[in-house]
A = this chain, B = another copy of it.
Amino acid sequence: MGTGAAFFTVPTSSGVFSLRRANQADLPHVVRLLAEDQLGASRETPDDLAPYQAAFKAIDNDPAHLLIVGVLRGDIVATFQLTFLPSLSRRGAWRAQIEAVRVSSALRSQGIGQLMMQWAIECSRQRGCSLVQLTTDKSRGAAHQFYKRLGFTATHEGMKLTL
């Protein structure tokens, strides 16, 4: 898979914004967005792309995953990963899971994140998912408000164990 038509194109006050599946050539831009993030700064190595290339292949080869980029006037300014997970609970419900949502710091609070998440929710609905889930670091207060406005509720503790 890889390159392809935009899933979504919309005019914004900053120019035409579109969402499409990420391709290999987008990877340095996506990693830059991850590294630009306050928590990502210490976790990512944008100068060493090898581990990201292996992960990109695993994501791109599996139809359970969609790695998405947001493109504004030709520049990659946003990204997220959408994953579809079968589960037994809730009467065998499919779940959609959103990970690694990033919007370029220069473009925050302009509605780009909202456009992306509304698309992700609609895509999840069309795929037959009963639930969309995500976790967000407790230090990201603005993100919690953002997701609540989109209809999410913070019903769960998100627990992590680093190996």
Bound together, the chains give a CA A59 to CA B87 distance in angstroms of: 7
Q: Which applies to chain A's interface (DSSP): helix, strand, loop or mixed? A: mixed
Bound together, the chains give a CA A30 to CA B52 distance in angstroms of: 37
Q: Which residue of B lies closest to A121 (CB)?
A: B161
Which chain B residues lie closer than 8 Å to A100 at the CB level?
A: 87-89
Q: Does A91 lie within 8 Å of B136, measured CB to CB? A: no
**Counting CB contacts under 8 A, is A51 at the interface?**
yes
Which chain B residues lie closer than 8 Å to A64 at the CB level?
A: 62, 64
A88, A129, A130, A158: most-surrounded residue (chain B CB, <10 A): A88
The stretch among A1-9, A11-19, A70-78, A144-152 that forms the contact with chain B is: A144-152
Interface residues of A in 37-77 (CB under 8 A from B): 40, 43-45, 51-56, 58-59, 62, 64-65, 67
Which chain B residues lie closer than 8 Å to A56 at the CB level?
A: 88, 92
Interface residues of A in 93-142 (CB under 8 A from B): 93-94, 99-100, 121, 124-125, 129-138
Q: How far is the CB of A16 from chain B (nearest CB, A)?
A: 25
The 4 A-B residue pairs with the shortest CB-CB distance, nearest first, are A156-B158, A55-B92, A58-B86, A135-B156
Question: Which residues of A line the B interface, CB within 8 A?
Answer: 30-31, 34, 40, 43-45, 51-56, 58-59, 62, 64-65, 67, 81, 83, 85-94, 99-100, 121, 124-125, 129-138, 144, 147-148, 150-163
